[in-house]
C-alpha cells in the first residue's frame, strides 16, 4: 500500500512559470499510488505542453471547455465526479480570483464549481501580487469556504525577487495532499518525536555517529501532524528538510537530545523515540585536533543517558513508543526492550537487510505492546509511518480510557 493508493487526483495546472514543476508533481503523485488526470488552463499550455502531461499521466489532457478531448471520454461533470481531490498547482493570482468569485469561464474553473471533492490550491506568484489586498481577500474568502491552501513559501522567485509566493516543492505538495485524506483522529493530542542520529564529538574534526538518515522519524512526525496532532520534532543532524507545520528543534549529541526532550516532555501526550541515539560518547572531547603520531589511540567511552527509559520512568508521563534496531534474535531483544524500558509500545526494524531500517526509503516493522503485537509489511516509510501512527492512536486511546 502507498500513501495515495487508488485515489483519483485531478491536477489543474494554471499559467505560471512554476508549471514546469507540475510535471514532476504528476510523477510523484503516481509514485504515491494515485491515478492522476491533468487539466491545463490555456495560459498554462503556453508554459508547458499537454503532450508532456499526457505522457506522464497516461490520460488525455484537456485545456478548453468546448473541445473534443474534454467532451469525449470525460466531460467536465464526469471529471468533477471522478476526482477524490482537486489540486491546482501552480494556482495563479488570476485563477485564485476567478475561483473566489465563482467564475465558470474555462474548463478547470467549471470542474471546481461542479465538484464536491476537496479543493487544494498551491499558489505561486510574485510576492507583491501575493501581498496585494485583492489577493489577500480572495484567499480569505476561499479559506472560509474550506479550500485548502498549500503554501506558498518564501524564497527566490523567477522574477528575481525574494519573498512569499513561491510554490511548495512537488514532494511537499504530495505530503500535504495525503494529509487531506486522513481524519484528524489525533486532534488535541501533543506528540513529540525524536529522529535521526546523534553525533558524539571526539575532537573538532571527528565524531562517533551512525547511519540513521532521519527518514523514518520525519515520516512519523509528518504522519502524526497529518492525523491532527500538535507535533514537536527533535532531530539529530540530517540532510532532510524540516517537515511543515510543526516545531522542529535540531540537536547534535545524545546529551543535547536528552535535554531538549526532558524540557518539553511535560507538555506532551505521546512520545515516539525513532532516533538512533549513541549509547556511548567519548569521556573527553579534545579541544584540539588529535594528531596521528601515536601508533595506537585509546578512546575511553562513557554511557549516554537513555532518553526513552528516562521518559518511560516519569510519573504521569506520556504514552511511550520506542524503536529498536536489531540484526538478530529480533523478537527476543524487542520484548526485552519493551519490558526493560517499560515502554507502551516498541517498533522493531530488522537492520542489515536491503530495503529496511537505516537510510532505506522503505521499511517493515514488528510492533509489540504488553500482551499483543502485529507486523507492518514492507512499504514506503511514509506509509509505514501512517500505519504505525494509527496503531499508536488506537493504543493511546485505549490505555487513557
Ligand atoms: O533514520 P532512518 O535512516 O530512516 O532509520 C530509521 C531507524 C532504523 C534509525 C529507526 O527506525 C530506528 O530503529 N531507531 C532506533 C534505533 C536505535 O537506536 O535502536 P536501539 O535499539 O539502540 O534503541 C532502542 C530505543 O531506545 C530507541 O527508541 C532509541 O531512540 C532509544 N534510545 C536508545 C539509546 C539512548 N541512549 N536513548 C534512547 O532514547
Residues 44 and 107 in one domain: yes
| Residue 76 pLDDT | 78
Catalytic site includes residue 159: yes
Enumerate residues lining ligand 1, CB below 6 A: 194, 196, 212-217, 254, 273-277, 279, 304, 306-308, 322-325, 337, 349, 351, 357-359
Quote the CA–CA distance of 146 and 119 in Å, as a whole number: 8
Q: How confident is the model over 182-205, as pLDDT tens digits?
A: 999 999 999 999 999 999 999 999
pLDDT along the chain (401 residues), means of 10: 90 96 98 96 94 96 71 72 97 97 94 96 96 97 95 86 91 93 95 98 96 97 96 97 93 98 98 98 94 88 97 96 88 86 92 82 92 90 94 94 71
Quote the CA–CA distance of 318 and 201 in Å, as a whole number: 31
Number of domains in the chain: 2
Q: Which of 129, 155, 178 is the last residue of a domain?
A: 178
| Residue 294 pLDDT | 82
> Are the C-beta atoms of 40 and 57 separated by less than 8 Å?
no
Q: Which of 178, 213, 242 is the last residue of a domain?
A: 178
Containing domain of residue 150, as a range?
8-178
Q: For residue 233, what is the domain's CATH number? A: 3.40.50.10300
| Residue 68 pLDDT | 59
104: in domain: yes
Residues 164 and 199 in one domain: no
Q: For residue 59, what is the domain's CATH number? A: 3.40.50.1950
Distance 290 CA to ligand 1 centre (A): 29
Residues 123 and 197 in one domain: no
Could you identify the atom of ligand 1 that is nearest to the CA of residue 254? 36
Distance 322 CA to ligand 1 centre (A): 7
| Residue 156 pLDDT | 83
Cell numbers placing 179: 494529509
- Output the pTM of the full model: 0.85
131: in domain: yes
Residues 271 and 137 in one domain: no
In the chain, the N- to C-terminal Cα span, in Å, equals 31
358: in domain: yes
Q: How confident is the model over 17-41, as pLDDT tens digits?
A: 999 999 999 999 999 999 999 999 9
Q: Which of 178, 208, 237 is the last residue of a domain?
A: 178
305: in domain: yes
Residues 86 and 116 in one domain: yes
- Torsion from C-alpha of 280, 200, 210, 247, nearest 10 degrees: 110
SS (H, E, C) 237-263: CCCCCCCCCCEEEECCCHHHHHHHHHH
Residues 350 and 250 in one domain: yes
Cell numbers placing 284: 573527553
Residues 83 and 109 in one domain: yes
> Are the C-beta atoms of 325 and 276 separated by less than 8 Å?
yes
Q: Provide the CB-side half-sphere exposure for 168 (13 A, CA).
A: 24
Single out the catalytic residue among 159, 248, 268, 320: 159
Residues 233 and 379 in one domain: yes
| Peptide bond preceding 152 in cis form (omega within 30 of 0) | yes
Residues 102 and 227 in one domain: no
Count each helix (H run) and each strand (E run) in the chain, helices first: 15, 19
**Length of the chain as a residue count:** 401
Residues 223 and 276 in one domain: yes
| Residue 130 pLDDT | 96
| Residue 327 pLDDT | 81
Question: What's the gap between Cα 65 and its chain centre?
Answer: 35
| Residue 91 pLDDT | 98
Distance 347 CA to ligand 1 centre (A): 10
| Residue 146 pLDDT | 94
Residues 243 and 299 in one domain: yes
Testing ligand 1's pocket by substitution, the residue of 271, 325, 364 carrying the most ligand atoms inside 8 A of its CB is: 325
Could you identify the atom of ligand 1 that is nearest to the CA of residue 215? 4
Residues 296 and 372 in one domain: yes
184: in domain: no
2: in domain: no
1: in domain: no
133: in domain: yes
| Residue 350 pLDDT | 79
**Angle formed by the axes of helices 170-180 and 381-399, to 10°?**
30
Amino acid at each position: 500500500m502507498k500513501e495515495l493508493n487508488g485515489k483519483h487526483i485531478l491536477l489543474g495546472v494554471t499559467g505560471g512559470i512554476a508549471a514546469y514543476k507540475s510535471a514532476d508533481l504528476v510523477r510523484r503523485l503516481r509514485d504515491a499510488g494515485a491515478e492522476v488526470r491533468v487539466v491545463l488552463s490555456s495560459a498554462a499550455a503556453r508554459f508547458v505542453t499537454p503532450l508532456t502531461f499526457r505522457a506522464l499521466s497516461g490520460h488525455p489532457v484537456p485545456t478548453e471547455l468546448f473541445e473534443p478531448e474534454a467532451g469525449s471520454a470525460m466531460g467536465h461533470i464526469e471529471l468533477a465526479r471522478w476526482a477524490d481531490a482537486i489540486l491546482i498547482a501552480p494556482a495563479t493570482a488570476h485563477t485564485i480570483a476567478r475561483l473566489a468569485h465563482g467564475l465558470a469561464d474555462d474548463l478547470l474553473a467549471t470542474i471546481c464549481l461542479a465538484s464536491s471533492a476537496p479543493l487544494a490550491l498551491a499558489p505561486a506568484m510574485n510576492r507583491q501580487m501575493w501581498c496585494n489586498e485583492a489577493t489577500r481577500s480572495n484567499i480569505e474568502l476561499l479559506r472560509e469556504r474550506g479550500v485548502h491552501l498549500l503554501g506558498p513559501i518564501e524564497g527566490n522567485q523567477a522574477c528575481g525577487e525574494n519573498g512569499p509566493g513561491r510554490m511548495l516543492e512537488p514532494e511537499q505538495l504530495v505530503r500535504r495532499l495525503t494529509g487531506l485524506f486522513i481524519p484528524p483522529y489525533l486532534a488535541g493530542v501533543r506528540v513529540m518525536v525524536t529522529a535521526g542520529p546523534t553525533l558524539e564529538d571526539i575532537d573538532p574534526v571527528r565524531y562517533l555517529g551512525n547511519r540513521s538518515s532521519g527518514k523514518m522519524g520525519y515520516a512519523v512526525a509528518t504522519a502524526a501532524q497529518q492525523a491532527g496532532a500538535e507535533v514537536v520534532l527533535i532531530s539529530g543532524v540530517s540532510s532532510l528538510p524540516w517537515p511543515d507545520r510543526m516545531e522542529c528543534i535540531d540537536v547534535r549529541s545524545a546529551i543535547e537530545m536528552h535535554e531538549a526532550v526532558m524540557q518539553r516532555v511535560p507538555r506532551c501526550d505521546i512520545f515516539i523515540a525513532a532516533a538512533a541515539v549513541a549509547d556511548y560518547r567519548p569521556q573527553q572531547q579534545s579541544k584540539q585536533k588529535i594528531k596521528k603520531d601515536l601508533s595506537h589511540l585509546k578512546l575511553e567511552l562513557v554511557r549516554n543517558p537513555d532518553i526513552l527509559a528516562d521518559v518511560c520512568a516519569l510519573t504521569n508521563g506520556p504514552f511511550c513508543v520506542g524503536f529498536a534496531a536489531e540484526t538478530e534474535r529480533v523478537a527476543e531483544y524487542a520484548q526485552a526492550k519493551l519490558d526493560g524500558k517499560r515502554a507502551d509500545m516498541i517498533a522493531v526494524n530488522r537492520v542489515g537487510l536491503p530495503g529496511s531500517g537505516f537510510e532505506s526509503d522503505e521499511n517493515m516493522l514488528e510492533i509489540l505492546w504488553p500482551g499483543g503485537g502485529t507486523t507492518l509489511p514492507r512499504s514506503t516509510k511514509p506509509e509505514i509511518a501512517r500505519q504505525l501512527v494509527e496503531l499508536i492512536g488506537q493504543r493511546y486511546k485505549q490505555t487513557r480510557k
